[in-house]
Amino acid sequence: MNLLYLITSFVISFALLLIAMTVHEFAHGLAAYKLGDSTAKFSGRLTLNPLAHIDPFWTILLPLVLFLSTAGHFVFGAAKPVPINYRALRNPKRDIIWIGISGPLANFMLAFIIAQVLKFIPPAGMSTYLLSNLLLINVVLAIFNLIPIPPLDGSRVLMGLLPAQLSEEYARLERYGFIILFVFIWLGVFDRVLWPLVGLVIRLMGVQ
């Protein structure tokens, strides 16, 4: 594969991923702020500036390793988590649900807006290519984060729904969360579940 093409492809994929992750983390911070917690605001995270959300490993190194190891076919990563002080929330048990779901919801909303824009621009060209990939990345990021495995957003939603004692026990899984995720990825679970869901959501948005 041409080295220049590989570098260009990574830069484009990384830039689009950074946009999606920034929207995602900003939504978490905004939701927390509206529900009584100002930690994200005072930490400089209540912003759409991507630089505020970059984590050296999860945002830069992991996407680069995945991209190179798959010969440019796959790139994924995570932003630096927005700090949340759950004790500052007006109703922590309820508000953790809203904060957890706000990130994926923001990605779905951005993807839906892009889907509508795609209906009014030529089907070929750089704009269509970039927007289509940004739509795909947003949908993947949203669905992936809804998986109820700590520390993903789906686990926050589940913690808010579970009784207090079960929620505390479930939260202890967070130390093993990424190990569980990587095992699932290695076993191909996400290939059989995540990608069909991604395709379904994109089709429901009217994009073929």
Catalytic machinery residues: 25
For the chain, the farthest-separated pair of C-alpha atoms sits apart, in whole angstroms, at 55
- Residue 140 one-letter amino acid: V
Q: Read off the amino acid at residue 6.
A: L
Cβ neighbours for 141, distance < 8 A, ≥ 6 positions apart: 17, 20, 21, 24, 104, 107
Asked if 42 contacts 62 with a C-beta cutoff of 8 angstroms, the reply is: no
Half-sphere exposure of 191 (CA within 13 A, CB side): 7
